[in-house]
């Protein structure tokens, strides 16, 4: 009888990685991208992610029970107790990075090489109340034109970005928990690929174009469009709604940035959902009905409004923050008005803030775990009437005796990522199908992204070399690319009905209208002839006397008898002189 062998954690991790590489063809991300890219066009995706790690809370916590303390102040009998901030929400962060490349033929060797065309960095913040998918950075290298796609083909950059967002929304959905997709659109020449701005094939969008582009990317999450494959992401939600706000623009000017679809007016709101997103506003019994703006505004890395919030926090004392928040602004509307004068939103530039909020069908009272978490976060200000629990006794240490058996030292051959013991907790959800092809810890992910941002992509030779270098160094020489072959049928191009019909240029908008007093001069001979006739405009004709007009007409038709003799032959070219070129004869004395 054979005894069962015990596998080490290293062997289990190795077997798990091998199985994940074997099942790469069934990866949901591969299927999601393959449906939206052109048919038979090959791409390679590099999906990198981290484990959920605890991080700082996105919003500042308010004071606990402010309504009860305000009543004590009104009575004047009870001295107000010192307000204390509630415990911040326990927040976890999971980072994702997606790089998409294409195959090109090397000029020297003829072998195919890869070059990155797109990079996306996304942070996923989770609490016991909601999940926030924040788009941190997005950039392209400008080498997509090497595919030579037919004119009119939908942009693979936009389609792949939308597919990745659908993939994250579908895999990060939690039962009875709110999910928010958030980003701010700020145009820059390059974010992730240094030197790519020198590439002439890169199309850099301005501020207005970038805000419109992101609204078009996220619009399939709100409504069904032609070729939209985001049914999996939209399925099962109670309400899905989009929000857009551009500091410094009114509603009439902001409406021009929304997608021009039939359901845009119903699915988009020109404003912000910060009060709807905040867990503090959903529990007025614990935190009061008037939550200050400092506790409603989430702050992200490299966020324009986060820098403004930090400046306001430094200018306000701790006591004033707990009593009523900042002195100015006092409301969220005032905050967005002041954001219009910030450096990122002023000086001729604009920054658009976009949200897409997914509310579950039973939102918000069906979720009891979030309420429990909020109650635990708020410190109790009342004295408990129950007796204090006795302290547990310390366990008595057992005296060790007997033979000492030495253990062999465990030598670490490589640095492995510590996976969490539980995939789902009240604070985060980490499904296996939503992880990256390579999972790193926080330090390893930071080194991988910094390596990419320190390479050069100005020329095609440098871009192909640095693409191979980055892919090899991230996974220590192993191939971890996801092979994608497009499945989307190409849209047929409109063809002219007949090749014999020439192209007609409609210049009606460029024709200058004549004055009512002017008359057009017509020639009867030009109507019968099909040759090229040069006719000067009537506006250039000088007014002459009747005698000079008759002489000019006789001189213009002097070749008419020769035209009448030739039948069937091509008519000769007739040059008609304008009456303005006829010299006026003096009157006979």
Q: Which residue has the tokens 């057009």?
A: 520
pLDDT at 381: 43
Q: What is the pTM of this model?
A: 0.73
Q: Which helix (H) or strand (E) holds 121?
A: strand 112-126
d(CA 136, CA 42): 27
d(CA 275, CA 589): 99
d(CA 181, CA 165): 9
Q: Which long-range contacts (CB under 8 A, 24 or more apart) does 147-151 make?
A: 147/41, 147/102, 149/38, 149/41, 150/490, 150/493, 151/493
Decide if 149 contacts 324 (C-beta within 8 A).
Answer: no
Compute CA distances 555 → 532, 535, 580, whole Å. Answer: 19, 16, 13
- β-pairing, 112-126 with 91-105? antiparallel
d(CA 48, CA 435): 8
Cis peptide upstream of residue 267 (ω within 30 degrees of 0): no
d(CA 356, CA 233): 12
DSSP H stretches of helix in 76-230: 156-171, 207-218
The residues, any chain, with a CB within 8 Å of residue 81's CB and separated by 6 or more, are: 69, 72, 381
3-class DSSP assignment, residue 184: strand
The residues, any chain, with a CB within 8 Å of residue 545's CB and separated by 6 or more, are: 584
Residue in 468, 437, 469, 454 with CA at minimum distance from that of residue 104? 468
Decide if 259 contacts 356 (C-beta within 8 A).
Answer: no
pLDDT at 65: 62
Residue 38 per-residue DSSP state:
B
Decide if 46 contacts 482 (C-beta within 8 A).
Answer: yes
The residues, any chain, with a CB within 8 Å of residue 160's CB and separated by 6 or more, are: 33, 36, 37, 43, 100, 118
d(CA 566, CA 569): 6
Cα distance between the two ends of the chain:
144
pLDDT at 496: 41
Q: Which residue has the tokens 């004068």?
A: 341
In the chain, what's the furthest Cα-to-Cα distance? 152
Decide if 211 contacts 350 (C-beta within 8 A).
Answer: yes
**What pLDDT digit, counting tens, does each position of 276-328 carry?**
999 888 877 777 778 889 999 999 998 989 999 999 989 888 888 888 788 88
Tokens of 475: 């996974």
d(CA 118, CA 13): 30
Residue in 342, 353, 261, 260 with CA at minimum distance from that of residue 298? 353
pLDDT at 66: 52
d(CA 573, CA 581): 19
pLDDT at 152: 84
**How many other CB atoms sit within 10 Å of the CB of residue 246?**
23
Decide if 26 contacts 426 (C-beta within 8 A).
Answer: no
Residue in 136, 135, 131 with CA at minimum distance from that of residue 89? 131
Q: What is the pLDDT along the chain (589 residues), one digit of tens a residue?
A: 444 444 444 454 544 444 444 344 578 899 999 999 999 999 999 999 999 999 999 999 888 765 554 444 444 444 445 667 778 899 999 999 999 999 998 766 667 899 999 999 999 999 999 999 999 999 999 999 999 888 888 899 999 999 999 999 999 999 889 999 999 998 888 889 999 999 888 988 999 999 999 999 999 999 876 655 667 888 888 899 999 999 989 999 999 999 988 888 899 999 999 999 998 888 777 777 788 899 999 999 989 899 999 999 898 888 888 887 888 898 999 999 999 988 778 777 789 999 999 999 876 543 434 444 444 444 444 444 556 667 777 778 888 888 888 888 776 655 567 788 889 999 999 999 999 999 999 999 999 999 999 999 999 999 999 999 999 999 887 889 999 999 888 765 454 443 334 444 555 445 555 555 544 444 444 444 444 556 555 555 565 555 544 554 444 444 444 444 444 445 556 666 666 666 666 766 5
Handedness of CA 338, 343, 344, 345 (dihedral sign): positive
Q: Which residue has the tokens 């001979």?
A: 525
pLDDT at 560: 44
Q: Virtual CA dihedral for 191, 196, 199, 200, nearest 10 degrees?
A: 0
**What pLDDT digit, counting tens, does each position of 197-224 carry?**
998 889 889 999 999 999 999 999 998 7
- The domain ranges of the chain are 10-379+420-485
Decide if 53 contacts 180 (C-beta within 8 A).
Answer: no
Decide if 367 contacts 176 (C-beta within 8 A).
Answer: yes
Tokens of 188: 């820059």
Residue in 525, 62, 538, 517 with CA at minimum distance from that of residue 283? 62
- β-pairing, 438-440 with 42-50? parallel
């Amino acid at each position: 009888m054979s005894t069962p062998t015990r596998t080490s954690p290293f062997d289990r991790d190795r077997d798990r990685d091998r199985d994940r590489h074997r099942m790469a063809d069934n990866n949901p991300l591969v299927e999601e991208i393959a449906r939206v890219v052109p048919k038979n066009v090959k791409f390679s995706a590099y999906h990198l992610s981290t484990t959920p790690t605890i991080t700082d809370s996105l919003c500042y916590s308010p004071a606990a029970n402010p309504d009860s303390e305000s009543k004590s102040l009104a009575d004047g009998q009870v001295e107000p107790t010192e307000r204390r901030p509630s415990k911040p929400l326990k927040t976890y962060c999971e980072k994702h990075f997606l790089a998409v490349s294409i195959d090109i033929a090397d000029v020297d060797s003829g072998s195919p090489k890869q070059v990155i065309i797109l990079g996306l960095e996304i942070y996923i913040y989770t609490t016991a109340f909601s999940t926030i998918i924040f788009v941190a950075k997005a950039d392209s290298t400008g080498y997509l034109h090497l595919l030579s796609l037919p004119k009119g083909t939908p942009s693979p950059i936009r389609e792949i970005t939308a597919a990745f967002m659908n993939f994250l929304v579908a895999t990060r959905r939690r039962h009875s928990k709110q999910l928010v997709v958030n980003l701010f659109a700020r145009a820059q020449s390059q974010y992730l690929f240094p030197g790519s701005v020198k590439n002439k094939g890169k199309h850099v969008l301005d501020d207005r174009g970038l805000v419109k582009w992101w609204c078009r990317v996220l619009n399939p999450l709100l409504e069904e469009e032609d070729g939209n494959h985001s049914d999996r992401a939209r399925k099962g939600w109670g309400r899905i709604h989009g929000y857009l706000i551009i500091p410094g623009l009114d509603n009439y000017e902001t409406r021009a940035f929304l997608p021009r679809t039939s359901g845009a007016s119903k699915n988009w709101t020109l404003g912000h959902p910060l009060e709807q997103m905040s867990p503090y506003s959903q529990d007025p019994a614990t935190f009061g009905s008037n939550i200050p703006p400092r506790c409603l505004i989430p702050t992200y890395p490299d966020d324009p409004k986060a820098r403004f919030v930090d400046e306001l926090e430094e200018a306000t004392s701790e006591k004033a923050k707990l009593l009523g928040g900042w002195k100015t602004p006092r409301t969220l509307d005032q905050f967005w008005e002041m954001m219009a004068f910030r450096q990122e939103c002023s000086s001729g530039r604009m920054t658009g803030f976009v949200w897409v909020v997914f509310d579950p069908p039973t939102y918000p009272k069906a979720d009891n775990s979030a309420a429990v978490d909020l109650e635990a976060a708020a410190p109790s200000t009342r004295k408990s009437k129950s007796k204090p629990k006795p302290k547990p006794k310390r366990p008595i240490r057992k005296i060790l005796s007997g033979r000492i058996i030495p253990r062999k030292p465990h030598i670490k051959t490589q640095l492995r990522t510590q996976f969490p013991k539980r995939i789902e907790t009240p604070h985060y959800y980490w499904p296996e199908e939503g992880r990256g092809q390579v999972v790193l810890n926080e330090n390893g992910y930071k080194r991988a992204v910094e390596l990419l941002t320190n390479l050069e992509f100005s020329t095609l030779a440098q871009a192909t070399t640095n693409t191979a270098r980055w892919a090899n160094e991230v996974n220590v020489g192993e191939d971890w690319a996801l092979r994608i072959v497009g499945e989307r049928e190409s849209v047929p191009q409109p063809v002219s009905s007949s090749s014999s019909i020439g192209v007609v240029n409609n210049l009606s908008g460029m024709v200058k209208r004549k004055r009512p007093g002017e008359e057009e001069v017509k020639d009867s001979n030009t109507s019968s002839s099909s040759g090229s006739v040069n006719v000067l405009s009537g506006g250039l004709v000088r007014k002459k006397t009747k005698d000079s007009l008759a002489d000019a007409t006789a001189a213009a038709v002097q070749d008419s008898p020769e035209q009448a003799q030739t039948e069937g032959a091509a008519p000769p070219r007739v040059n008609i002189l304008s009456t303005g070129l006829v010299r006026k004869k003096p009157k006979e004395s």
